[in-house]
Structure 1
Amino acid sequence: MAGPAISGALRGWTGSRLMMQRRCIATSDLSYVEGPKEPPLLTCTIPEHFAEIVSQYGDQPAAVFRSPTTADMSPTLTSSRPETTTLTYEDLDAQSNILAHSLRSLGVKKGDRVAVSLGNVAEHAVLTYAVVKLGAILVPLNPTFNAHQLSAALSRLSVEVLVIAAVTDLAYKPCRGRSNYDLLSALVPDLSSSKVESSTVPALKSVVLVDNTPSHPLAGFPPIQDLRALTPYSSLRLSSPSTSSLSRSIIPDAPLVPAETINIQFTSGTTSMPKAAMLNHTNILNNGRLIAARMGLDPSDRIVCPPPLFHCFGSVLGFMATATTGACIAFPSPAFDPAASLHTAAELRATGLYGVPTMFAAELELLANPAFAARLPPGGLSNLRKGIAAGSSVPEPLMRKLREKLGLRDLVICYGMTETSPVSCMTAPTDPDDRRTSTVGRAMPHTALKIVAPGDRSRIVPRGTCGELAVSGYLLMKGYWNDEARTGEDLVRDQDGRLWMYTGDEARMDRDGFVEITGRIKDLIIRGGENIHPLEIEIALARHPRVREASVVGVHDERYGEVVGAFVAVHSGVQTLEDGEVDVGRGKAEALSKDEVRGWVREQLSGHLVPKYVFWTDEFPKTASGKIQKFKLRDVAKELLGTATK
């Protein structure tokens, strides 16, 4: 049996050997790279770091929230200015302390799950810090969940406290939200009782209601005072932060530890089986800070963030990135509204704008409307230069328009997934233009990337070769909540003992370490034994001047096994034509036929990539983060082809 000295020497030798192996890999022609070691990782908790930021930037604005009014129901009309709420860093600190004390009075303690089903509103931001300061676990939920989805999520995590709005704001529909009365009645059948009792979620003890009915006069939510089972959010804010003793710092039941889970994110749902990923202080705090550093955020920045707070884009790339630098973040509307986003950017003279391609496309389309553009404050968009595009690949034509029309010359691309907190790859404002449009950048600091052979994860492929992308480092989730089987499928240790997250994305790495995502492995179309990458066709379609958005899926075919099916949305004012249909009296510039779509792809690419089927659509099924749910499009294609041949 080896003594302590010998064991230590063996461990040291083994560690040195592994480091030498990795250095050799990193300098070879294999698709393996490790990101920079600077800046060093933060080793504190989120509340500890936030306290430092408050001490430095306390009187500066931390977050601005714009509430919709009925004037927002028409993007070209403005009869009254929407209300805005501005929280300084000191406000956010004091209000979250008050709320933390109130949540403790409801029985919330360290480790408890607190679910939040809200849009991008001030209450969501305050709750984020209140829950984390208690050492509880924040569970942000998509507020558009139906009763079954909500109950399933709460039950899976044994949630005891739910905070929810009376009305769910809907994207593109300001002030026309969905009343949550039926949903709450399904969850708690007797809302008139003084006690919460739920057969579907037995652990549930309290339901806190945020009253946003003034912004939704037509929603039909009943008088809140009649629903005694619900706790009004307003009752948790007992007094003014400036005078209340409750605004003092709160001490958790036990000391907070950086490696503890403080956030459970449900995966975004591009598949039909979302999973509950556990993230800790170290994951979220460092990812936000490193994103801010690479994109060049500083305390003078004012960033407009339409992506949702319940998703990693809004909460980490947005809120955590600005909160680690002393910058200001503005949430233009509870749910995405392109008019509100542009108005907020102009009114605040913002320096940055975030979004996914679908959001940016909607904003550019609206900005092209002279009646709308005339109502923006003159020169209000002239300060825009920074931004993040994420969620899905950004076509080069869209990137070019964002620079030309919105001035986002320092726009960066972020790539990641919920399980990696989320960003693992990112471009930088100083990267060459061709790399900023064709790749998702290079490895983030303290992050390792490798691309492995399909079907053989032990073999790293040469640079320039496609394979599955895997990620390693501080940013890996702890696992899926109470799901060891699925955790073991995605988090795998290699022969050296290093833990890797296998993304399911097909990618290739160039000689300089830039990574190009070529598509989801499961979205690959195999036509007669030949692999087709949908992304290549989608990028070509996006270049067509009359195409607003496109998504490509595989469609079953008796001869080839699979063929290409393209779902296409056109710009407003463009007439869509079926095969054989003639454009009568409208003029070529205002119409697009399915044959023209096929001809365009044939000119841009090769014949085998031409869609056999073209489906016109006005909108796509998407996750809250803007990703198109291709599994739903495949189902739609099956239904349409049951009665149609084109």
Structure 2
Amino acid sequence: MLPSLACKRAATKSPKPASACPKGQLWRRLPLPLPLPHAPHRALSGSGSSSSLPLTTSHARGPPAPALLEQTIGQYFSSTVAKYGDRPAVIAHHQETTLSYDALDRASNALARGLQSINVQKGDRVALSLGNNIEHVTATFALAKLGAILVPLNPAFTVTQVASAITHLEASHLIIGTETHLPFKDPRSNVPLLEHLLPNLRSSAKIESALVPSLKGVVVVDNSKGRVDIDQFRSLTRYQDVVSSGPSAEKYLPDQGLDHNEIINIQFTSGTTSSPKAACLTHRNVLNNGKSIGDRLKLTADDAVCCPPPLFHCFGCVLGLQATSTHGAAIVFPSECFDPLATLTAAAEYRCTALYGVPTMFLAELDLLQTMPSARALAYMTNFRTGIAAGSAVPAELIRKLKAELHLDRLTNCYGMTETSPVSLMTAPSDSFAKRVNTVGKPLPHVSVKIVDPVDRARVVPVGTKGEVVVSGYVTMRGYWNDAARTAEVLVPDAADPSVVWMHTGDEGVMDADGYVAITGRIKDLIIRGGENISPLEVESCLLACDGVAEAAVVGLPDDRYGECVAAFVLRREGAHLAADDVRAWVRAKLSAHLVPKFVFWVDAKTALPKTASGKVQKYKLKERGLGLLQRGEGVE
């Protein structure tokens, strides 16, 4: 039976006592802001243009208007609340709760005061390990209003990863759920993780840990529905108690003396390589990027964005939360972690006008449409106007399928990375289907993008020539936390104007005469076969168009004759009878012979493609797996 589409959840539910606004004000003076790694970047002037004149070199600049916002996140949010206070801001389908903008403002003010009462101060790093829920959103705005720095952690992190992150950033507080919810798995209790971090968890009310010495407090959000009892742990503080413990205050939080150039978010890169880094983003970075993304999508207060991508990733917290909150739109969380059926259900129930996702999410939703008749019925009840496909290179065939199956006629494509706040290039719903399928769009306002020679970084290549994508403008991060060497590797001053800094992305792309860019792969992922450069994305897109293929990823493996060869990891669709020769024949018929995979490796539920939390395939792990399989003679040649 289909879920009821009644308005019982869409109507604003009264916030729990923890969301109520305490009375009174706190006028405690906070310490000066942290020193900034370097001055804000300017966009490059001179070459490149946002006009309609055809380009001859691969350098395009986004429009100079509208003007950049020079406010903090909290300041701009206040203006949104003033305009759209009674409109829904966040809808948590799985919590059966909706907060209006006014209710979210009050809840975040209350939490901010409560955090002050447990000694969270401006500049402190606060680690947040939560799924997509009301508490995560409330904490995001509370920390922004305080000037404390949000450090979103993947809830699936192991204790080693959590300890490493907290130690590296010297985080003072941790906000964590009692459970971690993972896609297609049972919830995992976080008690063992906390006991490892804090050996005195049961015996002492004081936070002391040799493993994470900077940690002063742990706030726990009970998302276990009674499965985890935290009363036995004396050193933990309930989220509800923090909200209600702050001194009473009026609706608005007193001015904290914040500056829009201060760091407000430290994002750990998602790790397509084996070494994640901590990218520092400012109010100015995040707020303007969210505003520009919402502008390009033409979001209004009448829109509801279905957002299954996680809030701990830039996709959820910037493309999702900041894009909607700067436009008075609603953000809808179908579940705490990705669930394809919950996504389609929530999209239909709340008549969502936009759908977000990374390729693996969209593939799971499309697969559900093939296997579950009720899911197909849900698809017909959706009200999508637009959406965003991002997170990794999006095969053109996938966009075609989403148009056909989910009626996403105006789905947009975008490109970015954590270090660029994250989006620098984006298509528009009004762009032609060919542009939205084959490119990642043009630069956002106040952003400059060039394609340069990977060897001679100062040389901009002609239009139509492949090279490395480099980005400049307000979007570039401040740097990697306490890592000047790796910062200098990617943030490179312009040769003609050293005050301009370019972010070297490591991605290969090509720009056309209109300034649209197509991403052709990671430079390090390119397969060099007999002197010819092969883009894995081209082969992956071809494989995805094959009826029997559910997912595919392509890497290069050593070859005695050609140096490298094409190796494909393929997940068959359920019930499909597909042999390695069928895969090769399909590619041979669609592409040239040198792109045909020499090796075909089958993957299943147990040997799934290794992915980051944002859905990007970790190619370095696939290469390691492929080499191991070849050594055991298991490659299908």
Asked if TM exceeds 0.5, the reply is yes
The equivalent residue for 1:206 is: 217
Asked if 1:188 is matched to 2:188, the reply is: no
Find the aligned partners of 1:121 and 1:19 in 2 and give their Cα distance: 42
Deviations 1:309-346 (A, max 9, x none): 00000000000000000000101111100011011011
Q: Deviations 1:56-78 (Å, cap 9, x if unpaired)?
A: 100110000122xxxxxxxxxxx
Matches within 5 A, 1:483-498: 483-495=483-495, 496-497=497-498, 498=500
- Compute the displacement of 1:632 (Å): 0.8
CA separation of 1:262/1:370 partners in 2, compared to 1, >3 Å: closer, same or farther? Answer: closer
| Secondary structure of the corresponding residue to residue 318 of structure 1 | helix
User: Residue 464 of structure 1 aligns with which residue?
Assistant: 464
Shift of 1:23: 6.0
Name 2:445's counterpart in structure 1: 445
Q: How much has 1:141 moved relative to structure 2?
A: 0.5
What are structure 2's unaligned runs of at least 5 residues?
Answer: 1-41
1:521 is aligned, of 514, 520, 523, to 523
Which residue does the alignment assign to 2:165? 153
Q: What CA distance in whole angstroms lies between the structure 2 residues aligned with 1:433 and 1:23?
A: 24
Say whether 1:397 aligns with 2:403.
no
Does 2:633 match 1:633? no
**8 Å CA contact 1:366, 1:372 repeated in 2:** no
For 2:133 and 2:553, locate their aligned partners in 1 and report how far apart those are by CA, in whole Å: 31
1:412 match: secondary structure: strand
Amino acid paired to 2:549? V
Query: What is the aligned partner in structure 1 of residue 368 from structure 2?
Result: 366
Tell me which residue corresponds to 2:591: 605
Contact 2:50 2:63 in 1 (8 A): no
Shift of 1:27: 6.5
CA distance in 1, matches of 2:133, 2:50: 49
Equivalent position to 2:112, from 100, 104, 116: 100
Question: Contact 1:172–1:338 (CA<8 Å) still a contact in 2?
Answer: no
Deviation at 1:136, TM superposition (A): 0.6
Q: How far does residue 610 in structure 1 lie from its aligned partner after superposition?
A: 1.0
Instruction: Check conservation: 2:55, 2:463, Cα contact below 8 A.
Output: no
Between the aligned partners of 1:419 and 1:606, the Cα distance in structure 2 is: 36
Q: Name the amino acid aligned to 1:185.
A: E
Name the aligned partner's letter for residue 82 of structure 2: S
Instruction: Name the CA distance, whole Å, in 1 between partners of 2:532 and 2:401.
Output: 34
Aligned residue number for residue 274 of structure 2: 272
Contact preservation (8 Å) 1:97, 1:247: no
Q: Counterpart of 1:347? A: 349
Unaligned ranges ≥5, structure 1: 1-14, 68-82, 575-590
The answer to whether the 8 Å contact 1:172/1:335 transfers is: no
Partners of 2:165 and 2:264 lie apart in 1 by 17
Establish whether residue 121 from structure 1 lines up as the match of residue 99 from structure 2. Answer: no
Bigger RCO (CA 8 Å, 6+ sep): 2
- Match of 1:457, SS? coil
Match of 1:58 among 66, 78, 85: 85
Aligned-residue sequence identity (percent) comes to: 54
Between the aligned partners of 2:319 and 2:509, the Cα distance in structure 1 is 22
Say whether 1:595 aligns with 2:607. no
Larger-gyration structure (1/2): 1
**1: CA distance between counterparts of 2:49 and 2:365?**
45
The 1:638–1:379 alpha-carbon spacing in structure 2 relative to 1, beyond 3 Å, is: closer
Give the C-alpha shift of residue 396 in structure 1: 2.3
What whole-Å deviation, never above 9, does each CA across 1:607-634 have from its counterpart, x for those lacking one?
A: 1111111011122111111111111111
CA offsets 1:431-452 (integer angstroms, 9 cap, x no match):
1111110100111110001111
> Which residue is 1:380 aligned to?
381
Separation in structure 2 between the aligned mates of residue 153 and residue 466 of structure 1, nearest angstrom: 36
Where do 1:113-512 residues align within 5 Å?
A: 113-173=125-185, 176-192=186-202, 193-214=204-225, 217=227, 221=228, 223-238=229-244, 245-246=248-249, 248-251=251-254, 254-373=256-375, 376=378, 380-381=381-382, 383-495=383-495, 496-497=497-498, 498-512=500-514
Instruction: Find the counterpart in structure 1 of residue 73 from structure 2.
Output: 46
Give the match for residue 76 of structure 1: none
Question: By how many angstroms is 1:642 displaced?
Answer: 1.6
Residue 251 of structure 1, CA deviation: 2.7
Helix, strand or coil: the match of 1:214? Answer: coil
Residues of 2 paired with 1:462 and 1:350: CA distance? 42
Quote the offset at 1:32 in angstroms.
0.6
Confirm or deny that 1:110 pairs with 2:122. yes
Give the match's secondary structure for 2:398. Answer: helix
- The aligned amino acid for 1:380 is M
SS at 1:632 equivalent: helix
1:86 aligns with 2:95: no
Task: Tell me, yes or no, if the aligned pair for 1:348 and 1:380 is still in contact at 8 Å.
Answer: no
Tell me how far apart the structure 2 counterparts of residues 414 and 203 of structure 1 sit (CA, whole Å).
38
Deviations, residues 2-53 of structure 1 (Å, cap 9, x unaligned): xxxxxxxxxxxxx9xx845556999651101111011111111111100000
Alignment check: 8 A CA contact 2:307 2:320 kept: yes
Q: In structure 2, do the counterparts of structure 1 residues 224 and 23 end up closer, same or farther at CA, with 3 Å as the change threshold?
A: closer
Correspondence for 1:621:
610
Taking the aligned partners of 2:630 and 2:333, their CA distance within structure 1 comes to 42
SS of the residue aligned with 1:522? Answer: helix
CA contact (8 A) 2:440 2:519 kept: yes
Deviations 1:583-617, CA, capped at 9 Å, x for gaps: xxxxxxxx100111011111111111111110111
Task: Say whether residues 1:32 and 2:70 are aligned partners.
Answer: no
CA contact (8 A) 1:95 1:247 kept: no
Give the Å deviation of 1:385.
1.9
The answer to whether the 8 A contact 1:566-1:615 is kept is yes
- More displaced 10-residue stretch of structure 1: 108-117 or 612-621: 612-621
TM-score normalised per structure 1? 0.88
| 2:591 counterpart letter in structure 1 | L
- Does structure 1 conserve the Cα–Cα contact (< 8 Å) formed by 2:131 and 2:312? yes
The 1:319–1:200 alpha-carbon spacing in structure 2 relative to 1, beyond 3 Å, is same
Q: Do the aligned residues in 2 keep the contact of 1:555 with 1:564 (CA within 8 Å)?
A: yes
What is the CA–CA distance in structure 2 between the aligned matches of 1:623 and 1:423, rounded to whole Å? 18
Moved more, 183-192 or 477-486: 183-192
Aligned to 2:547: 545
- 1:88-107 CA-to-partner distances (Å, cap 9, x unmatched) read 00111001111001100111
1:382-438, Cα deviation, whole Å (9 max, x unpaired):
x11211100122222221221222121111001100000000000011111111101
Could you list the runs of 4 or more consecutive aligned residues of structure 1 that deviate by over 4 angstroms after TM superposition? Answer: 18-28
How much does 1:249 deviate? 2.1
Partner in structure 2 of residue 588 of structure 1: none
Distance between the aligned counterparts of 2:547 and 2:50, measured in 1?
Answer: 47
Aligned position for 2:5: none
Could you tell me how far apart the structure 2 residues matched to 1:435 and 1:28 are?
A: 17
Q: Which residue of 2 aligns with 1:533?
A: 535
> 1:331, 1:413 → 2: CA distance?
21
| C-alpha distance in 2 between matches for 1:181 and 1:642 | 40
Secondary structure at 2:91 match in 1: strand
Q: How many residue pairs align between the two structures?
A: 586
Cα 1:463–1:104 shift into 2, 3 Å: same
Taking structure 1 as reference, are residues 21 and 513 closer, same or farther at Cα in structure 2, changes over 3 Å only? closer
Superposed CA offset, 1:481-508 (max 9, x none): 0111011000000112221000000001
TM-score for both structures, normalised by structure 2? 0.89
Contact 2:492 2:503 in 1 (8 A): yes
